[in-house]
Amino acid sequence: MTSRPLMRLKLETSATEVIGSTARGTLSIWPIVGGSFDGDRLHGDVLAGGGDWVTALADGTSELDLRVTLETHDGALIHMTLTGVRDDAHHYFRTLPRFETAAPQYAFLNRLLAVGVGEIGPDGPVHAIEEIL
């Protein structure tokens, strides 16, 4: 499977909102208050207002369900969603980002699938996202 780098996404989160034990697992919401993204074809900032709905499952893994708005350096808005798996016991944190935009210069994002490798850095989550070719 071939891929090429799309962007490195850094997220700034505020205090986690723990909803608690639900029918599927333990739900926590990580509010996203900012951040940045940088790649060869696009770069810009993460707008405040997004979040990651994280459900810790009984098997020790967590399911991620992230929604955020990206603003490129030239003023385009990109709706980004991401689902993923975080399995700390196996050092596995992989995601499937998707993008929607109306900006013609970034319309290529509407037509691609991508995979992310996540890590929790000292300043918050960082996702290295690659386009699936």
* Contact residues: other proteins, CB under 8 A: 1, 3, 59, 61, 84-85, 87, 90, 92, 94-96, 98, 107, 110-113, 115, 117, 130, 132
Annotate the chain with DSSP letters as a single string. Answer: --EEEEEEEEEEE-S-EEEEE-SSSEEEEEEEEEEEEE-SS-EEEEPTTEEEEEEE-TTS-EEEEEEEEEEETTS-EEEEEEEEEEEGGGTEEEEEEEEEE--GGGGGGGG--EEEEEEEETTEEEEEEEEE-
Between 10 and 98, CB nearer to other proteins: 98
Q: How far is the CB of 59 from other proteins (least distance, A)?
A: 6
Between 48 and 96, CB nearer to other proteins: 96
Q: How far is the CB of 33 from other proteins (least distance, A)?
A: 26
Q: How far is the CB of 128 from other proteins (least distance, A)?
A: 9
Between 48 and 79, CB nearer to other proteins: 79
Between 12 and 41, CB nearer to other proteins: 41
